[in-house]
Amino acid sequence: MPREMLGEFEHQVLLAILRLGGEAYSVSVVLELEERTGREISQAAVFIVLRRLEEKRLLTSRMDNMVEETGRVRRYFKPTSDALRRLKESRRTLDRLWEGLDATLEQA
């Protein structure tokens, strides 16, 4: 059955959420990604991808209104079991493709 592959950035965002304990809001995702990739991450891009992943039913979210005092709104996102399965699939696919290529890359 043909299945849409996870995009690279979608992949990264999902992994960042997992690294942050399996549930995270967008600011922490941005900061985590920046730390891990060493690049400046666009908040808009993260926001859009989170929204898209939720539409694809790969994330669920809940509002946290802790923030009456500060006026802040935080939406926490959590990968669904479908998302975890897709991540594993992706990893397996990539691993299979990587097999035996270490030497080739070393030479390059």
Q: How many residues bind another protein (CB under 8 A)?
A: 25
Site track for another protein across 63-82, x = CB under 8 A: ----x--xxxxxx-------
3-state secondary structure of 86: helix
On whether the CB atoms of residues 9 and 49 are closer than 8 A, the answer is: yes
CA distance 108 to 104: 7
Among the residue ranges 10-18, 45-53, 86-94, 100-108, the one whose residues contact another protein (CB under 8 A)? 45-53
CB nearer another protein, residue 69 or residue 106: 69
CA distance 62 to 81: 16
3-state secondary structure of 24: strand
Tell me which residues touch another protein (CB under 8 A).
1-4, 25-27, 30-31, 40, 42-45, 47-48, 51-52, 67, 70-75
